[in-house]
Structure 1
Amino acid sequence: MDVSTTRNGDVEIAYRTTGEGERPLLLIQGGSAPMEAWPDGFCTELARRGFRLALFDNRDSGRSSRVPRAYTLADMAADACAVLDALAWPAAHLVGVSLGGMIAQVMAVRQQPRVLSLTSLSSAPNPSLWWNRRTPRLVLRMLALGLRVRGTGPQAEAERLIGMMRIIGSTGYPHDEDWLREMASRTYEHRTDPAAARRQREASRATGDRRAELSRIRVPSVVLTGQADPVQPIRAGRATATAIPGARFVSYPGMGHDLPRELWSTIADEIDAIAKQRGTGDQ
């Protein structure tokens, strides 16, 4: 994988590109996840629709800098803009998942000239919306996973990731555990440590409820969410779509906090459709 780097101040951001299309598309990953968490097959679906894709590691993830100080979603959005600058992209279509969806939402408000369209995937406008009646059981299962899978190394990391997907992933689609195991092993050297993961979570909390400012978004937007997502439940997706003027809302039965192979083409179609609303005269 050919990885380049750019900088936002003292923060180094790792990124790469793929696809030969003319429409620029920036993919923004969720908390702790490296850019490799975007499945190659999903990226291929987007490339087939004419996109040139840029993927990057958020600060405190993957090959990007660890940042041992407090920061906000606005700082993470500035990192994303640094990737656009490095590619000489005046603007791009945005697809953000989970924490990445929050970063994309902030960009669409505070860096509107850099954003052509917005796809918010498995995300929320307020970090508190993740709490529901199933949350205590979810937390207990996560704690039990931490006690059950101990040790370090690529194999232990893979088992933790697979165990986590069994808790938060789709109930209506099979999990590709071979891919999860391979991806966890491949990215083990650059894994996110617990302190870095906490800083990312604090960034979303520090930004607070963004529903009022989301009303200022003026780019074509679609909000996609899984009906079986225990991390960002369907009400979080609905709240996002309600806050963004004219946003399209789509939910998928059986989809959890992951990206099932069976929905790659369908989700790529939604991203393509909202990008086309921008008009053929734009990038």
Structure 2
Amino acid sequence: MERHVAAGDIRLCTTTTGDPADPTVLLVMGLGLSYDWWREDFCDALAGRGLHVVRFDNRDVGRSTHLTGPGISPWGFLTRRARPVYTLGDMADDAAAVIDAHGGTAHVVGASLGAMVAQEVAIRHPGRTLSLTSIMGRPGDGRTGKVSWRRVPDFLRPPAADPVEDMVRSFRRIGSVSRTAEDDEDVRTTMRRAAGREATVPHDGQGGGRQLAACVAERDRTADLRALTMPALVVHGDADTVIRPSGGRATAAAVPGAELLELPGMGHDLARATWPAVIDGIARTVGRSSRTRA
């Protein structure tokens, strides 16, 4: 069942899986994607490890509040210059409000842009963050985790006539070498479900552009990551061309005691073949939290 949580003027659509008495894991999704992209099977597997899973739509996607204002132009993307309507820090404060509404503390897990938001949650709200798992992320230093030039056209292409099959093709380009027909069908199912949910709220169709502007305008978090004290896991694929593996390595090097899990053949996706390693890693990191054990 969905529940809306207020974060100032923003209303965030949330849903949960598992027993609320178990340790809470907050999942933060990436650029322009609703909570549906944390697949239900994935969440069920985490719940099976004794975890209470909370998903939510970031601002500007799904059934959360959609804002107005410009996103980012192609030139702004190419030159890495943006005037965002909001920042990754604002998105992290949204996530903190979700944590407050679900017990006050959580193990925070983010993927892609969600990894950068998760890092900001840990930095800005350390008392709420029991552990940090950063998947396909980077520290924002401007040097590591840059997009491969051959992936730049993916960010600049106009909308496709068939967005569902276009997304299947996109994940085939950027995804893991282990992607299967089942992964393709996951994309089709999730795209249709996400589109149906988003169609129920007013929006201008530019939310992804505003999130991208926030990502392009990210700050260097390296120094603040060095001050973190909670357990941390960094997951990255060695075949990622959207946020190259140097981003994961730099993140792990910055966070004291962080575990780096670099998966062979993993691209910029969560193909089903990667789930066992990722889920094991999240559960292992939760177990490292002294506050959870206490």
TM-score calculated relative to the size of structure 2: 0.86
Structure 1 residue runs of 5 or longer lacking an equivalent are none
* Aligned mates of 1:55, 1:273 — CA distance in 2: 20
In the alignment, what sits opposite 1:230?
241
In the alignment, what sits opposite 1:186?
193
Amino acid across the alignment from 1:136? W
In the alignment, what sits opposite 1:84?
99
What CA RMSD, in Å, does the superposition of the two structures yield over aligned residues?
2.0
Cα 1:281–1:274 shift into 2, 3 Å: closer
In the alignment, what sits opposite 1:56?
56
Match of 2:140 among 122, 126, 130: 126
In the alignment, what sits opposite 1:36?
36
* Aligned mates of 1:150, 1:111 — CA distance in 2: 39
218-227 vs 75-84, greater mean Cα deviation: 75-84
In the alignment, what sits opposite 2:118?
104
* Aligned mates of 2:247, 2:223 — CA distance in 1: 15
| Residue 72, structure 1, aligned to residue 82, structure 2 | no
1:222, 1:270 within 8 Å by CA — same for their partners in 2? Answer: yes
Matches within 5 A, 1:80-229: 80-87=95-102, 89-126=103-140, 128=142, 129-131=144-146, 135-140=148-153, 146=157, 150-151=160-161, 156-174=162-180, 176-189=183-196, 190=198, 195-229=206-240
* Aligned mates of 1:207, 1:109 — CA distance in 2: 14
Amino acid across the alignment from 1:165? F
* Aligned mates of 1:222, 1:150 — CA distance in 2: 36
| Residue 46, structure 1, aligned to residue 46, structure 2 | yes
* Aligned mates of 1:206, 1:74 — CA distance in 2: 11
Query: The residue matched to 2:256 in structure 1 has which SS?
Result: coil
1:138, 1:230 within 8 Å by CA — same for their partners in 2? Answer: yes
Query: The residue matched to 1:172 in structure 2 has which SS?
Result: coil
2:146, 2:247 within 8 Å by CA — same for their partners in 1? Answer: no
> Offset at 1:198?
1.8
* Aligned mates of 1:118, 1:35 — CA distance in 2: 18
* Aligned mates of 1:254, 1:30 — CA distance in 2: 20
Query: The residue matched to 1:229 in structure 2 has which SS?
Result: coil
> Offset at 1:127?
7.0
* Aligned mates of 2:276, 2:62 — CA distance in 1: 26
Query: The residue matched to 2:54 in structure 1 has which SS?
Result: strand
Cα 1:193–1:267 shift into 2, 3 Å: farther
Per-residue Cα deviation, 1:170-198 (whole angstroms, up to 9, x for no partner)? 12332511111111111113178652112
Per-residue Cα deviation, 1:47-95 (whole angstroms, up to 9, x for no partner)? 11100000000001111111225111111111111112222x1211111
TM-score calculated relative to the size of structure 1: 0.90
> Offset at 1:207?
3.1
| Count of aligned residue pairs for this structure pair | 272
Match of 1:266 among 277, 289, 294: 277
Cα 1:42–1:127 shift into 2, 3 Å: farther
* Aligned mates of 2:292, 2:25 — CA distance in 1: 16
Structure 2 residue runs of 5 or longer lacking an equivalent are 70-84
1:42, 1:265 within 8 Å by CA — same for their partners in 2? Answer: no
> Offset at 1:150?
3.2
In the alignment, what sits opposite 2:18?
19
Amino acid across the alignment from 2:185? D
